[in-house]
Structure 1
Amino acid sequence: MADNTIGRNYSSSSKSQPTPSSSLLLHPALTVSNINTFIKVTLDNEKAQYITWSELFKIHAKAYKVLDQIIPPSKEAAKLDSSPSLKDTDPELWSRVDGQWIYVTISEDLLHTIIERNSTAELAWNRLEEIFSNNKNSRALYLEQEFSAVRMEKFPDDSSYCQHLKTLA
């Protein structure tokens, strides 16, 4: 009798259909070849855009299932979530998707400020938050002065003038 296991048909009716392990599945974050097509704001020290950048980043991190790499779930939330963390189930994959997006969405100056050997996305995220939240008072004073100094004649049209004021505000 011939061995028919080589040509076995794994149709949907077959009960012995193999199931791929979690490490063989493609993580959604690995399908993004250029996060800058989604997050069109490059974070830098000169522009007041941290809130916009961080919100866009969190939206896409959630959509591509990497939010827990920058903002780990609270202990209470982890207790309520019955599914195991990728960090626990597949540490190698967790490491592969960790931090890839942050470094390509920030300016070169910020990159050199926050990057460290063997860092994680969470550490980079926290460093950026510290940079932009620790100087709130001086930043507010600077922006107030910039706002007061804006003159309409420096802009080609009303729309660009208003957009600049909105950005400063």
Structure 2
Amino acid sequence: MTEKYGSLATAEAKALHPVYFVNNIQNKIPSLDGTSVTYSQWVKLFTLHAKGYRVLSNIDDTPPPVASDASYKTWTEVDASFNNGSMAHFQYSLEQTQIIFLSNKKARVAALEKFSNLTLVACSSLNDYCQQLQDLGEQLNDVGHKVDESRLICQLVSRIPREYDAAATIMNLSNLSWDEARTAIDLERQRQEARP
């Protein structure tokens, strides 16, 4: 008798949509703070969770499946859960983050101008310098100030000490990606550290 009820419970659990197993999406995604978690990072993480819980099409502008589609019933049930509030934490989390992001956009642009002034000397290591440049670049991208890989590399090259001039010359003459440029500068650091 117990086996029968156990298998029935297992079958019911398998039949439930994955979204019913999350109580609060904010427990799974860190808060947007603009520094350790940027808007673009938050959106990527939120989107991954929404896809994982199979609710992205209920949140974004994706039209619902047609009534004859096999997924229509499940989609409408999940959508009804959003509308009656039981899944509102997904929608609320997305809306609140967008409001916070858009409301201080101009203030963040001014603060992110430190991208232009960041130097290797001001950072704890070469890796920290590169990571801060990349993070600041992503934050500038989030607020509509495009920082592509070539601008990141130019900034990297313009603010490193003279002992990296050989690597800087190679980076200026080559069409390197950001990762390749980071590797080139790190190899130069290792070469210098290995000198007697």
Classify the TM-score, shorter chain.
0.5 to 0.7
Number of matched pairs: 125
Share of identical aligned residues, percent? Answer: 28
Q: Which structure 1 segments of 5+ residues have no match?
A: 1-5, 10-19, 100-120
Equivalents in 1 of 2:26, 2:102: separation in Å? 24
Which of the two has greater helix per residue? 2
Question: Does residue 16 of structure 2 align to residue 26 of structure 1?
Answer: yes
1:48–1:167 Cα contact (<8 Å) kept: no
Match of 2:93 in 1: 124
What letter corresponds to residue 44 of structure 2 in structure 1?
Answer: E
Cα-to-partner distance string for 1:19-60 (whole Å, 9 max, x where unaligned): x67x87233235569979975x54224556011111121022
Cα-to-partner distance string for 1:55-98 (whole Å, 9 max, x where unaligned): 1210221122122453253xxx2255733254643656985444
Query: What secondary structure does 2:130 align onto?
Result: helix
Equivalents in 1 of 2:93, 2:27: separation in Å? 21
Residues 89 and 30 from structure 1, CA distance in 2 versus in 1: closer, same or farther, beyond 3 angstroms?
Answer: closer
Question: Does residue 126 of structure 2 align to residue 158 of structure 1?
Answer: yes
Q: Which runs of 4+ in 1 moved over 6 A?
A: 32-38
How many Å apart are 1:125 and its aligned residue?
Answer: 1.2
1:71–1:122 Cα contact (<8 Å) kept: no
Question: Does residue 43 of structure 2 align to residue 54 of structure 1?
Answer: yes
Residues 72 and 158 from structure 1, CA distance in 2 versus in 1: closer, same or farther, beyond 3 angstroms?
Answer: same
What letter corresponds to residue 112 of structure 2 in structure 1?
Answer: L
Higher relative contact order (CA 8 A, sep 6+): 1
